Amino acid sequence: MVHRPSMRSTRKRLRQAEEENELLASQTPAAKLRRAEAGKVFRNDMIDRFATGKIQPVDLATISWFATEAGAGGVSDLGVDPRLGGRNQSRKVREALGLKCVERLFLFKIKVPMWDCDTCSRKMGTLLVKLPHDSF
């Protein structure tokens, strides 16, 4: 009597072979170039969304941190660990994008009343603005 492998073990071996082939394919120079290009595209997309006001700095920093932890490239300098708390996300994003020099040259700081969720009260906060006549 000839021993025939069960259907389950055959499928398992085929699945393992496919995983090995995918792993080998991901190590090729072409795959590395694709990953690097995808990282650049991802970074530019995140920066565009931030610049147009579609996402807040805290969202950009959190998404960037989780993406970097998951193995994505291109946004490691934008990420802040969300477990750290604090309000460092906006500062970190501005520093990574080089907005500190722009801030000093073109933006003015004004004091405006803001709602502070931590103390449940109003406080005076600093807001960076660009004068309308400098916009053109």
Q: Report the pLDDT value the prediction gives residue 123, as an integer from 0 to 100.
A: 92
8 A C-beta contact, residue 80 and residue 67? no
Residue 87, amino acid: R
Cα separation values, 119 from 3, 56, 65, 88, 94, Å: 74, 22, 28, 18, 26
Beta strand 108-116 pairing with 121-129: antiparallel
* Rounded-to-integer distance, Cα 20 and Cα 14, Å: 10
pLDDT at position 125, please? 85
| pLDDT at res. 110 | 86
CA distance 136 to 134: 6
Q: What is the pLDDT along the chain (136 residues), one digit of tens a residue?
A: 555 555 566 777 778 778 777 766 667 777 778 888 888 899 888 888 887 778 888 888 899 999 999 888 888 888 888 888 767 788 888 788 777 666 666 677 889 998 888 889 999 988 777 777 665 5
Structure tokens belonging to residue 33: 């170039």
- For position 6, what pLDDT does the model report? 57
Longest dimension (CA), the chain: 91
Return the pLDDT at 113: 92
- H or E element that contains 95: helix 89-96
Predicted pLDDT of residue 101: 67
- Distance, in Å, from the CA atom of 120 to the CA atom of 39, rounded to the nearest integer, reads 40
Structural contact between residues 81 and 65, judged by C-beta atoms closer than 8 angstroms: yes
For the whole prediction, is pTM greater than 0.85?
no
